[in-house]
Each structure stands twice: as structure tokens, then as C-alpha cells.
A and B are shown apart, each in its own frame.
Chain A
Amino acid sequence: MTAVAVEAGPQASSLRHRLAERGVDSTLLLIAPATVFILLLFIYPFLYGLGLSFQPKEGGIGLGSYRRFFADAYEVGTIWKTMRLALPAAFFNVIASVPIAMKLRGRFRGKRLLSTMLVIPISLGTVLTAEGLLNFAGRAGWINRFLMAIHLVDRDHPLALVNNYWGVLFSLIITGVPFAFLLISSYLSGIDPSLEKAAAIMGADWRKRFSKIILPLLAPGLATTFMLTFVLAFSVFPSATLVGDPAGSTRVISLAAYQAYAEDFDYSSASAIAILMGLIELIVLALVMGWRSTLYRGSTGGKG
């Protein structure tokens, strides 16, 4: 008995040691709740939906729901309509956030107020933003009334800024810019400010400093920001309904899925559309990731 214990002792400890070297130890249990959470609330529903998409309404197992989607030009059109919103919105959000984040790096009076105002739209949520847009940019909204008052716009033909493509795009920008700004700010703070000083002393004006130093170091962060705001914009749903034209130009892909589910009670088609939506997002992300992998992604010298 004692002999066995003596032999087992070193073996047991060496196994623990070898596991620890691979990063496996008891603290790994801390991620157990999160794993269970992901399994129950993401992996299982996702696989369930994937299975559902292959069980068309008319019975049997197969690609019937996908075929139905691609056979209907009205349905296929939602892909293009969504892209037409999500791509410009994501590009604009990233590009507009860069100068703001650059400017807000330095110290100046009123910086906190300005950055707070920039971030507030995130906390408001899409519905409140949409309501604000309807009041502000609607046919009888302040913008139109002001433009009419200064006779820039004809009283009978107010600018159509909401209930169409532009309304949804504005809404995506209003909620997307703060998000992109926050992300890009944190990427920028990771770039050592003395790099720019060094470049300046070596004779680079601000354009060169930006294009040769800041932009290459920031590009991976811009790619990540683009991907995240693109995904957010691609799954646009509330603003497409509230400030868009949900029967026409802003009938986005998530609306198509919702209608299949809630109006046609075709759960299989709804699932198939959701899966397609995910696939399209993955394709765009893969393209961006491919580009990102060609960039320098090491240390940027700063704190971050």
C-alpha cells in the first residue's frame, strides 16, 4: 500500500506539473460559467436555427428554404439594400472618427464635455435616436422649418430626410460614430506620442506624419473598428422600420427574416435568411481580416 502511494506520488505531481505548463490548472474553472452561458445561449440556438433552416415548411430535409429565398428577386434584393446601408455607414463611421479621435488626444478646455456629447448617442439606444430624427428631420421638423424660413427650401416640397434610405443611414451614423470613435481613441492612445515628435523633427509635416506613422500603426485598429460597425449596421432592424421605408428602399435582410417568421410563420425560411445574413457578414469580415493580416500588428510603442 505504502509502496503504491510512493510510486503514485511523483507521477501525480508530474502530471499536474505538465498540465500547468500548458496553462491547464484549477483557475481555468473560472471560465466554466461563461462557457456554459455561451453553449446554452449561443451555440445551441445557433445549431438549432441551422437545423431548422434545412427543414423547409413543405416538409422533408433539404435546401428548400434557401432555394425559395434565391428564387424571389424581392427577397434577394434585401442583400443589396442592406449592403447599400451598411458599407457606406461603416466606412463613414470609421473615417469620420479618425480626425475626431486625433483631435481629442490632446488636452484642451471643454474636452470632457465634447467627448461626453460624442458618446451619449450610444446610451440613448436606436429607438430614441429614431424618434429624435423623425422630429428633427421630418417633413415638419426643425431642419425643414428652418430651411423654409430662410427660403432655401420650397414650402410645398420639404426635404425628404426620413422614412427613406437617408433616414436609416443617418441613424446608423448617429449611433455608429460614437462607437467607432471610442474604439479608435483607444487604439490611438496605444501609439507612443513621441513617434510623431520624432517624425516631425526628421522633417515630416502633419500630412506625412499621419500617412507614414499614424495611419500604418492605426490601420489594424481601423480594420477591427470597421468590422464591428459593419456588423452592427448590417443587422440594422429598428431604424430601418422607424425612420426608413420598410416596404421599399430599406427593406433590409433582417426585416425579410422577421417577416418570414412573424407574418408567414415560416420558421425554416426565417432561419435560412438569418444563416445567409451571418454568411454574408463572415465573407466581408474575412476580406477585411485578409487585408489586416498584411499589416504590421506588433507593438505600437505606447501604453496599449
Chain B
Amino acid sequence: MSTPRTAFESLRLEHIGRSFGGHQALVDLNLTIARGEFIALLGPSGCGKSTALNCLAGLLPLTTGQILIDGKRVDTLPPEKRGFGMVFQNYALFPHMSVAKNVSFGLQMQNVPKEELRARVAEAVAMVKLTDYAARLPGQLSGGQQQRVAIARAIVTAPRLVLMDEPLSNLDAKLRLDMRGEIRRIHQTLGLTTVYVTHDQEEALSMADRLVVLREGRVQQVGRPEELHSGPVNWHVADFMGYRNLLDLRAVQVRGNDVHLSGAGVELMGLAAQPVRAGDLVKVGVRPDDFKVVGPDAAGFDATVEVVEYHGRDFAIDARTAGGQVVHLLSEQALAPGSSIRVAASPSRVLVYQTDLEPAQEAAA
């Protein structure tokens, strides 16, 4: 089980596209996946990530492009001939079959001999810690247990590619954390190449080897979690990577990569992540934990505390500047709503982006 039967060296998506009627759900997706990699497709709903997954699975025909495994086309094969495994958002367990039967279905389709089948099913069921539940029907299990059955069912055949379509989105917060660890552990144990679709950046960052951020069917950025986390290429990716403050400011002065920003009562020094010119309206991304409350005489800008939320370790503060701009920040002290504070951020943590997502980006590149 630990080595996939038909492991490949590389899986290439070349200019993959899919349209529904006149609507382009996915445009020109190019990606090479190495064996054993864990890839996360990340984006808001409607960004084309599920379309991409369904195209990979063979559930949706491609409009353009091709999918190659070690140079051989697979996009012309029906789903049953691709040898993949898939975990669905709603689990899609067969309600009339026991846990063991659900898990053994894929092996039966491959005509695996009875003895081997029984051993592999037992192994997969044990891997997701459901040995005591093997004889139950899915309807008798909790949501988390059903999800584990779905995972066991997808990995038992040691498929050359495992596809996961937002598998944790129907679970509550605590279970989601547990299952995240579980999926990561299974991936590390079995080394199965995995493509994982999610709209949750934390999930993607914590599990994936590489992330693909999509927006309106187009790839925005591909990279390792730390690359995306510290250096989003545009404000849309920044938005997804936890830059909760996306301020519309004006670049007053540009010297090399240092940008002096101003607007709506906010004064900041920032770092140009995309080329900007003095006088441009720009998008400025700052994480809440990079805004600091500083002494009244230090450099920074003034704001009035509006909302204070207790977060255990620290407080999440919403403050408003005299110019009406709301900024989100974290503070170790409880601040009283209505009190005045001075806010500053280290220039290297203030990323400056062009306002336009697409045409300007092309022109700049």
C-alpha cells in the first residue's frame, strides 16, 4: 500500500481550460505535479478550483488543453480508466454498503483476490481508525467518521493521484483541525500524490507542498506556502494569505522599492511588491499582527478604537482614522473602545500593490 501501483514521474496540465456556455470557468491552467507532491488549489467559490479538479478526475471534459502522465494523454480516458481516487465534499459514501464494503469497492472493481482485498481493506480502515465501525452503514456514523471512510476509500487502491474536493468544509472547527492533521499524516505515510481543493488558506498553507491560487478561472500565483505567505504577487493573493488590511492609499513618493503612502488619515512607509509610480492609487496589504500600537510621540498615524474582541492570547481591534479608514490590528492590551491610539507598521511588512489585478499586471511583467 505504501508505494502506488502505477506511480508516475510527473503529471502535466497543459493549457487546461473549461467553459460552460459562454462562461469561462477555467482558463489556461499550466501545472506540473511531481510524484508524492501535495498540491492545494486555493481560491474563493467560483474561482474554478472545483472545475479544475473535476476535469482532472474526468467528470468534466476539457474545452482546451491536455493532461499528460509521463507524456501519455489521460484527458481522453473516462474517469473509471484513470486510476485516481477522490474524496467528495459531501463524502458520497454508498449508503447501502457497510464501511468495509465501501472501502473494498474500488479493489473489487480491480478484481483484487479475496485474501489480499480483505487485508488491504483492514489496513485502510485501521489507518483512519475505524476498525470497530467496519460493519456499520454510513448513515450510522458521525460526519467526521464518514469523512474518514471517504478518505480510506480513496486511498485503499493506492491510486496514482488522490483528488480531494473541500473534504473538510462540512465539519465543525475542532474536527476540521483533527482531520487536517490526519490527512497530512496519511499523506506523509503513504506518499500519495494529492491535489486538494479548498477555500481555506490556513488549510492550504498547513497541508500543501505547493499552492495554486486561482481567481475567476485564472492562476494568480503558484508557489510553496512560505513564498505565498510572505510574498503574494498581487493584492488578491495577499487577501487570501491573511493580509486583512487592504487599504486604498496614494503613493506619495517612490524611491526604489520604498513607497511613502498616504490617504484617509493613514500615513505609512511600505515596500513595492509590484511596480508603482508616485501619484498612483495603490492597494496596501498589512497583516493585523504587523500593525503595532506605539507611543504617542512615535512615527505613525492616529486612530480611534471602535471594536475590541478578546482572542485568548491577544485582542483584535478595529480602529478608525480621522479620515474614516478602518484598520484591523492585534494588541496585547485590552484597549477601551473610544480611546485614541497611534498605529505604526514596519515598512518591510507593508506591501504595496497595483489596484488593477489583470491588465496592469501584464503590462508590468
Give the B-binding residues of A (Cβ under 8 A): 192, 194-195, 197-205, 208, 212-213, 216-217, 296, 298-301
Contact = CB atoms under 8 A, between A and B. Distances in A.
Nearest to B85: A201
Q: How extensive is the interface on chain B, given as a class?
A: 20 to 34
B110 A197 contact: no
B157 interface: yes
B8 interface: no
A194 B79 CA distance: 13
Contact of B105 (A199, A216, A299): A199
B96 A202 contact: no
Contacts of B80: 200-205
B109 interface: yes
Contacts of B94: 195, 198-199, 212-213
Given A298-B139, A299-B139, A197 B79 contact: yes
A192 B96 CA distance: 13
A301 B95 contact: yes
B277 interface: no
A72 B63 CA distance: 72
A203 B110 CA distance: 7
Contacts of A296: 95-96, 137
Given A201-B57, A203-B110, A298-B137, A194 B96 contact: no
B199 to A, nearest CB: 19
B78 interface: yes
Contacts of A205: 78, 80
Contact of B92 (A192, A203, A208, A212): A192
B60 to A, nearest CB: 10
Given A202-B106, A208-B109, A192 B78 contact: no
Nearest to A219: B96
Given A213-B94, A216-B96, A296-B95, A201 B105 contact: no
Contacts of B301: none
Contact of B86 (A195, A201, A213, A300): A201
Given A194-B88, A203-B109, A212-B105, A298 B95 contact: yes
B328 to A, nearest CB: 38
A197 B88 contact: yes
A200 B79 contact: yes
A300 B81 CA distance: 26
B109 A298 contact: no
A195 B80 CA distance: 13
B100 to A, nearest CB: 15
B357 interface: no
A194 B106 contact: no
B243 interface: no
Contacts of B90: 192, 194, 301
A202 B85 contact: yes
A175 to B, nearest CB: 32
A204 B78 CA distance: 10
Q: Which of A202, A212, A298, A299 has the most CB of B within 10 A?
A: A202
A68 B59 CA distance: 65
B82 interface: yes
A202 B88 CA distance: 12
A300 B79 CA distance: 22
A155 B141 CA distance: 69
A155 B248 CA distance: 89
A200 B106 CA distance: 9
A217 B137 CA distance: 14
A200 B80 CA distance: 5
B157 A202 contact: yes
A203 B81 CA distance: 6
B135 to A, nearest CB: 14
A209 to B, nearest CB: 8
Q: Which of A199, A208, A216, A217 has the most CB of B within 10 A?
A: A199
B223 interface: no
B65 interface: no
23 contacts: A194-B92, A195-B92, A195-B94, A197-B88, A197-B92, A198-B93, A198-B94, A200-B59, A201-B57, A201-B58, A201-B80, A201-B84, A201-B85, A202-B106, A202-B153, A202-B157, A203-B106, A203-B109, A208-B109, A212-B94, A298-B95, A298-B139, A299-B139
Given A202-B157, A203-B110, 4 more contacts: A195-B95, A203-B80, A203-B106, A301-B92
Interface in B49-96: 57-59, 78-86, 88, 90, 92-96
A195 B110 CA distance: 18
Contacts of B157: 202-203
Nearest to A202: B106
Closest 8 CB pairs of A and B: A203-B109, A296-B96, A202-B106, A194-B92, A198-B92, A200-B79, A201-B86, A201-B79
Q: Which of B82, B84, B105 has the most CB of A within 10 A?
A: B105
Interface string B133-153: 000010100000000000001
A217 B59 CA distance: 22
A304 to B, nearest CB: 12
Contacts of B88: 194, 197-198
A201 B137 contact: no
Contacts of B153: 198, 202
B85 A217 contact: no
A200 B88 CA distance: 13
Interface in B85-125: 85-86, 88, 90, 92-96, 105-106, 109-110
Nearest to A217: B96
B138 to A, nearest CB: 9
A198 B87 CA distance: 8
B96 A298 contact: yes
A202 B105 contact: yes
